[in-house]
Structure 1
Amino acid sequence: MDAIALGDLIDVVRSPALHLLAVPGESAVRIGEVLLYDAHAPLPTAPGALLLAVGVRAADAGPLVRAAAAAGMAGVVVRGSAGAPVEEAEACGTALLAVEDGSAWHHVHLTLASAVGARPEQSDSLADLFALADAIAAATGGATTLEDPHQRILAYSTVPGQPVDEDRRQGILGLQVPGGLENAAQYQSVFAASGPVRLPPLTPDDLPRLAVAVRAGDEPLGSVWVVDTGALAPDADKTLTQGASTAALLLLRARAAHELARHRNTDLLRRLLDGTTDPSDARRHWGTGPFRVAAFRLDGGGAGSAPDSEWTALRLLDVVRLQCEARSGRHACVLLDGVVYALLPVAEGRGAGDGDQQHRPLAEHVVRRAGDALRVPVRAALGGVVADLAGVTDSRADADLVLRLLHDGLPVATVDEVRPRVTLLQLAEVLRERPELRRGSWQRVRAADAGHGTEYARTLAAWLDAGCDVARAAKELSVHPNTCRYRLRQAGRQFGIDLDDPDERLVLWLQLRTLSGSGDSASP
């Protein structure tokens, strides 16, 4: 998996609320994922993970630090530094970080996970945005933030001594501007204006703002906000306008870098799924396993015209990618022949059952969200868990087979849940490719039914499905048991079938189920 050096992580986050208390001195610490501690679940083996000590006081975190070190984790984050187990962390060779007492764990998790998932070029762009915020703050005389169109804080100034209010503190802590109708009205006025706008405080405890929209032509890219203490520089408006132009260039560059990275990621996954790339190339990008492939497909009944179908499939790709980013951490998604494939990691040290617990809720959530958003039923199939990227083609093959079995009553399934039916599908393909395996009494049975209107094939299939129980077969066929017995005797005499021979019964059942369509929907 991609990992970021601990020092780079701290630089990317750039939060005064995050403190480094202890770091191993012999080797560089690299962070690959951020986990929330759950006191009610076993601690997973997760090399390179940064564990957030949720529900554990800093002074009581010593045992957790030792357990995290034993699990191979790179470090632990505690809330507050008073009594933090610095000596235990140093003795275990584990990094120890602290966030301020008032920090909300879900905000900390979002911030750190976003920083871990950033590409190097994104990190460079992020550093440039922070530098720009500092430059604007120094030139205008007010603390500055840069935001995206969704009011997420992308960067903020750290110039010492500049007054801030509670709104700024809370926004930086969660990297999200606090909501509210009055706040929304201010944003509308900023994006409606052609230049900087001076805005009054929203509460008596807040400070006024000077704000300007960041645009590329008519497209809004974000906004820049400066806290106005009443002592801003005379040319603050001009400085802010110039800063917005620079911010637009940086945001466009960051977008281009992100799209380039996504394109490379998608192309690599496409070749990995097709088996046309060396798995070692993919390992350098996604690391080692275990992994599994999930496949998502729109139900054909709502496809519509070809352009509409393609557009809806692209929207499905967006939904899957968004939900995977929110719930699965590192992942990759690609659209191939109308099917959205997602490469999902399984937490190291866990097996297929744990993978099901991890990924099945994700698949069910995507099916619900995508179905509601696209107004088309969505199916989701989970391939088998494979130990390494070299086995991803097998997991994809599993997922493709499972997709063929899904219906309204079974919109989501793992390959293990439908393994018998998947095996029948695979047997059907083998039988259809091998003419010598298609020969047998079933062909004579089907020909007689077609020529004389009899139901020998249906009766034989029902009897074999019922485990050779005449009463159950008769009930399924809605006929009298004696009628069922008569048909079976006639089939044996007319077509030379020895129904007492278990081998003959097995071969006949397989051929009827997989070749003639006399069985249930397991036949393709």
Structure 2
Amino acid sequence: MTKRGQITLRELLAFDEGGVLRLLLAPSGQDVRVTGMIIGDEGPARSYAGRIVLAAGLFHSTGAATASIREAARRGAAAVVVRAGEDLAADALDVAEQGGIALLARAEWADWDDVATMLRSAAAYGEAGRGDRMAEATAGGGLAALASVVAEFTGGSITIEDTQFRVLAHSATGPEADELRRSTILGGRVPDWRVEELRRSGLLRTLWSSGEVIHRPADESTPERLIIAIRSGREMLGSIWAAADGRSLTPNAASALSRAAEVAVPYLVQHRLRESGARRREEHALRGLLAGEGDLSTHAWTLGLPPDLRCAVVLAETGPDAPAPGEGAAARGSAAERVLEVLALHAASYRPGVLVLRETGRVAALVPVRGGDERDVLGLARELDALAAATPGAAPVWVGAGAVAPSPAAASGSREEADLVVRVLRARDGGPRHALAADLGPALDVLRVLDAVRPVWERGSGPVYDLVRTDLAAGGELVRSIAAYLDAAGDVGRAARRLVLHPNTLRYRLRRARERFGVDLDDPDTRLLLTLAVRLAT
């Protein structure tokens, strides 16, 4: 057991169930004592002895992280935490080894706030098992041990719940337990009807706003109960409920419950960190998989996806809301985000195994295709389109489905196609708002070609460039006329009808392109360059 106010590196890593930190090196072993935390360089007046230094804001490639490790070792720090990445200088491990200082890496999905919160909570967790009989009896046994100990101290049946009314731990349930307790424990959470009843009665409002033990007298259906909120500062973490099932609560039950709420804090924080870490790891893995970045096999493993799972990506993207009278841009933006939230929930429930990534202005869903018609993926796209269209006042939404990929490692190709589908649909004003990649023919390849030649066009010069840039600056009348002429395969009459012009007016404009800019529309290379230029410009 370490001294009061301290925790060993081994205990800290054991507390970190969410995997916020990864141990790279511990030349002095894992039983070194950690006495606190320092973020960055807090100046020469601050003691580093026994502390963990967070190398926040330092980039490996500059050598700053290595310098920070060397300085931390010189000043007696227990460990240094660097950000994750493959660009850590080769000599960083050597410097840590020579200095006898532990080196840890922050997980890619985590940020420095996650690290700081975890370290503070680990210290509090270490303290939770010291100080009095309740704390010492709980140490090492977690919330289940705490529930049993509190039951002994209060004489009641105990449940410990999080803020979503899920049961995290409970004491033994005797034959006298009321039906509500039994259903809550069996279901793993407080029944919805009970939560609504507590909300209507005002008890939840009192619980969330009070730091005192709340007494709820027995009634016809439930026994006497004592309840207290579990808080870390102002943050609400959960609650402890003590029910007098078949026997009276002890005279000191309220004070015992108050102490239990203090002891429970680090355990509830650990639970929250574990859940938050799992969600963020999965989000990081899904984002990497869809972007084709990082270790794709590891991303798939993190998400529980078999390496041979056929899958496709469905992408829903919102456009700007139609402005309502007196409505500001912020309100329109929030309406767009609300409809995307609804689409994200619908996509997640479309079928088992669908993974959803929410991004600003869009929702991406990775859909398993385990058999049957590959066009079944279109079903989700169709449903998302219909749902968005049925939402009052919602912004327009375009939904694209990429081709089925042979494995999760190839999902980025399907994501790229889904993105191209959305771009094509957006450009076709008034057309359908959902489609499969296979339904759009060469339109996707045209977009790929345009994306590829855009950098070349932006660096170019010559008569065609002068025409397009000059005319667009003046309103683009000539560019639109040439675009219509090229789309009509050189048929002046058809192009003029599309532009609602007299054919002679269009002929005049085309002649002006030759006379003013030296652009010969009879030359095939010029026509090709102009075709690309007007497509890029319009």
TM-score between both structures, scaled by the size of structure 2: 0.53
From 237, 247, 252, the counterpart of 1:231:
247
Distance (whole Å) between structure 2 residues aligned to residue 173 and residue 143 of structure 1: 17
CA contact (8 A) 1:323 1:366 kept: no
Distance (whole Å) between structure 2 residues aligned to residue 250 and residue 410 of structure 1: 55
From 215, 220, 223, the counterpart of 2:231:
215
Distance (whole Å) between structure 2 residues aligned to residue 515 and residue 315 of structure 1: 38
From 160, 164, 175, the counterpart of 2:178:
164
Distance (whole Å) between structure 1 residues aligned to residue 444 and residue 302 of structure 2: 31
1:124-152 deviation digits (Å, cap 9, x = unpaired): xxx95456545545654544333322434
Distance (whole Å) between structure 2 residues aligned to residue 324 and residue 128 of structure 1: 36
Counterpart in 2 of 1:387?
406
Counterpart in 1 of 2:415?
396
Distance (whole Å) between structure 2 residues aligned to residue 157 and residue 409 of structure 1: 62
TM-aligned CA deviation for residue 254 of structure 1: 1.3
User: Which residues of 2 match residues 2-41 of structure 1 at below 5 A?
Assistant: none
TM-aligned CA deviation for residue 386 of structure 1: 1.6
Instruction: State yes or no: 1:479 paired with 2:498.
Output: no
Instruction: State yes or no: 1:255 paired with 2:272.
Output: yes
Give the AA of the match of 1:516. Answer: V
Mark the CA change 1:247 to 1:366 in structure 2 (over 3 Å): closer, same or farther: farther
Distance (whole Å) between structure 2 residues aligned to residue 418 and residue 293 of structure 1: 16
Distance (whole Å) between structure 1 residues aligned to residue 343 and residue 301 of structure 2: 24
Counterpart in 2 of 1:514?
532
Distance (whole Å) between structure 2 residues aligned to residue 254 and residue 359 of structure 1: 36
Mark the CA change 1:474 to 1:325 in structure 2 (over 3 Å): closer, same or farther: closer
Give the AA of the match of 2:213. Answer: P
State the secondary structure of the residue aligned to 1:473.
helix
State the secondary structure of the residue aligned to 1:231.
coil
Any unmatched runs of 5+ in structure 1?
Answer: 1-126, 303-309
Identity across aligned pairs (percent)? 28
1:417-465 deviation digits (Å, cap 9, x = unpaired): 6564433222223344567xx9999779869989999977644532453
Mark the CA change 1:129 to 1:386 in structure 2 (over 3 Å): closer, same or farther: farther
CA contact (8 A) 1:207 1:229 kept: yes
Give the AA of the match of 2:375. Answer: G
State the secondary structure of the residue aligned to 1:207.
coil
Mark the CA change 1:258 to 1:311 in structure 2 (over 3 Å): closer, same or farther: farther
Distance (whole Å) between structure 2 residues aligned to residue 171 and residue 363 of structure 1: 40
User: Which residues of 2 match residues 293-304 of structure 1 at below 5 A?
Assistant: 293=313
Mark the CA change 1:312 to 1:253 in structure 2 (over 3 Å): closer, same or farther: farther
Mark the CA change 1:182 to 1:314 in structure 2 (over 3 Å): closer, same or farther: closer
Counterpart in 2 of 1:199?
216
Mark the CA change 1:394 to 1:423 in structure 2 (over 3 Å): closer, same or farther: same
State the secondary structure of the residue aligned to 1:224.
strand
Give the AA of the match of 1:261. Answer: A
Distance (whole Å) between structure 2 residues aligned to residue 450 and residue 141 of structure 1: 82
TM-aligned CA deviation for residue 222 of structure 1: 1.4
Distance (whole Å) between structure 2 residues aligned to residue 250 and residue 317 of structure 1: 35
Distance (whole Å) between structure 2 residues aligned to residue 454 and residue 357 of structure 1: 40
CA contact (8 A) 1:295 1:342 kept: yes
Give the AA of the match of 1:283. Answer: A
TM-aligned CA deviation for residue 227 of structure 1: 2.8
Distance (whole Å) between structure 1 residues aligned to residue 145 and residue 408 of structure 2: 39
1:70-89 deviation digits (Å, cap 9, x = unpaired): xxxxxxxxxxxxxxxxxxxx
Counterpart in 1 of 2:302?
285
Instruction: State yes or no: 1:331 paired with 2:345.
Output: no
Mark the CA change 1:240 to 1:454 in structure 2 (over 3 Å): closer, same or farther: closer
Counterpart in 2 of 1:423?
445
TM-aligned CA deviation for residue 382 of structure 1: 4.7
TM-score between both structures, scaled by the size of structure 1: 0.54
1:174-223 deviation digits (Å, cap 9, x = unpaired): 73442445544112223343332221357x33333221111112211111
Mark the CA change 1:478 to 1:147 in structure 2 (over 3 Å): closer, same or farther: same
Any unmatched runs of 5+ in structure 2?
Answer: 1-140, 323-332
Distance (whole Å) between structure 2 residues aligned to residue 368 and residue 134 of structure 1: 51
Mark the CA change 1:319 to 1:384 in structure 2 (over 3 Å): closer, same or farther: same
Give the AA of the match of 1:231. Answer: R
Q: How many residues align?
A: 376
CA contact (8 A) 2:288 2:296 kept: no
Instruction: State yes or no: 1:345 paired with 2:361.
Output: no
CA contact (8 A) 1:515 1:523 kept: yes
TM-aligned CA deviation for residue 413 of structure 1: 4.4
1:246-294 deviation digits (Å, cap 9, x = unpaired): 4332221011122333443344445445544333222322323333445
State the secondary structure of the residue aligned to 2:237.
strand
Distance (whole Å) between structure 2 residues aligned to residue 169 and residue 219 of structure 1: 28
User: Which residues of 2 match residues 339-488 of structure 1 at below 5 A?
Assistant: 342=364, 344-358=366-380, 361=383, 382-402=401-421, 404=423, 406=426, 413-414=434-435, 416=437, 420-432=442-454, 458-466=480-488, 472-480=494-502
CA contact (8 A) 1:449 1:457 kept: yes
RMSD (Å), alpha carbons = 5.4
Give the AA of the match of 1:291. Answer: C
Distance (whole Å) between structure 1 residues aligned to residue 399 and residue 367 of structure 2: 17
State the secondary structure of the residue aligned to 2:212.
coil
